[in-house]
Copies of this chain bind each other. A is one copy, B any other.
Amino acid sequence: MAPVGSKRGILERLGAGEVVIGDGGFVFALEKRGYVKAGPWTPEAAAEHPEAVRQLHREFLRAGSNVMQTFTFYASDDKLENRGNKLTFTGQQINEAACDLAREVANEGDALVAGGVSQTPSYLSCKSEDEVKKIFKKQLDVFIKKNVDFLIAEYFEHVEEAEWAVQTLKATGKPVAATLCIGPEGDMHGVTPGECAVRLVRAGADIVGVNCHFDPMTCVKTVSMMKAAVEKAGLKAHYMTQPLAYHTPDCSCQGFIDLPEFPFALEPRILTRWEMQQYAREAYKAGIRYIGGCCGYEPYHIRAVAEELAVERGFLPEASQKHGMWGSGLEMHTKPWVRARARRDYWEKLKPASGRPLCPSMSTPDGWGVTKGHTELMQQREATTKEQLRPLFEKADAKY
């Protein structure tokens, strides 16, 4: 395990040029384990099934994560109650439970706790700046009470809402990271990655970057565009990327949400551990030092990041006790032809087959292109009705 010590702060670490490894996305991982519902994607499991959430935190810690993000994605009250989602715990209970779990596991190793907020249905429904900021403030009160180490505003499709979030978080005095879920084409209103980054830094973000929506290499490209613009503007920041663990070469501006496979048939797109090592190297080369993951990441993906950067960090993660570097554990395999795969060049060169000869390699994204301001995107508290679904089904079928 990483040496447990003084628990230096996030900016102290990044300022010293250290690599900080984030964790992976909890909603997708816990959906597969049976504790999160796809659709609402809300994190009530923090209160309902703490043992499952604790275990996942622990696996990421063992895999090398330096940050335990509170499992509070979409834990704003307006989101928790959106479209008929029914919960037995209040938003405050969920946020508090999530903070406690993150702290408990962070204390088992060299990890910090980060409290996170993300985009709100209120913004998409054109609520005012004041109303949206109140939403963030409510989660923030819990984070401050629980004394998290720093704050993350993540998963924003519109830079404007992200700026509001950063401003709200910054007021606490804690370090603030801000990541948009955008690609090289920029935010939903066409603001370029570079301009987005500059605006976020000016709003007070210490760390900027992207998370979710695109595959690792696309995220590195996007953050590189951000970095170039921030530097050109004469500003200073640290850089961060927490991509999908899914290949998304066919996505346009809205990322994997548009893919026909989202969210229940993304399996063939999952990155291997070797592709993940390649990503970690590229991110490092691009000057990004906060390197984590989002949807699709399993603990072994984070371990792969930690193994790739073991020399830079000076140590291997605890979970590498159960993983031979570059497949060397296969030297112990029963079959000789599998032992013949116990080497780096074998895995680096391999182009893995899909085993799906009746499937294509790319999809045509849906690309409805509706976002903040479109009536189709207005959120509601009540469950979606059959009458509301019918025109959506028809619009979708017309694509083919």
Binding site for B on A (CB under 8 A): 31-40, 51-52, 55, 58-59, 62-63, 82-85, 121, 124, 215, 246-250, 257-274, 298-300, 303, 318-319, 321-324, 327-343, 346-347, 349-364, 366, 368, 370, 376-377, 379, 383-384, 388-389, 392-393, 395-396, 400
Please indicate the chain B residues that have their CB under 8 angstroms from the CB of A364 in the complex: 358
> A300 is contacted by which of B31, B85, B330 (Cβ under 8 Å)?
B31
A376: chain B residues within 8 A (beta carbon): 336
Closest residue of B by beta carbon distance from A318: B34
Query: What is the distance, in angstroms, from A323's C-beta to the closest C-beta of chain B?
Result: 7
Q: Are A389 and B342 in contact (CB under 8 A)?
A: yes
Cβ-defined partner of A39 (8 Å) among B259, B319, B333, B347: B333
Partner of A274, one of B39, B264, B358: B264
Q: Give 20 new A-B contacts, CB below 8 A, not counting A32-B299, A38-B327, A250-B357.
A: A31-B323, A32-B298, A33-B299, A34-B63, A34-B323, A35-B322, A40-B329, A51-B55, A85-B332, A124-B334, A247-B354, A248-B355, A250-B353, A268-B269, A268-B270, A336-B368, A337-B395, A355-B361, A358-B363, A359-B361
A121 B39 Cβ-Cβ under 8 A: no
Contact status B270-A270, CB under 8 Å: yes
Decide if A261 touches B339 in the complex (CB within 8 Å): no
Residue from B250, B335, B350, B383 within 8 A of A355 (CB atoms):
B250
Interface pair B350/A361, CB less than 8 Å apart:
no
Contact between B323 and A38, CB atoms less than 8 A apart: yes
6 residue pairs bridging A and B, Cβ less than 8 Å apart: A34-B62, A39-B342, A263-B338, A265-B272, A340-B393, A358-B362
A266 contacts which chain B residues (CB < 8 A)? 352
Q: Please, which residues of chain B bring their CB within 8 A of the CB of A346? A: 396
Per the bound structure, the CA–CA distance linking A301 and B323 in Å amounts to 25
Contact for A322 among B31, B257, B334, B392, CB less than 8 A? B31
Task: Closest B residue to A341 by CB, please name it.
Answer: B396
- Is there contact, CB below 8 Å, between B361 and A39? no
> A301's closest neighbor in chain B, by CB?
B32
Whether the pair B353, A33 counts as a contact (CB closer than 8 A) is no
Known A332-B85, A334-B379, A360-B361: A271·B261 in contact at CB below 8 Å: no
Which chain B residues lie closer than 8 Å to A215 at the CB level?
A: 355
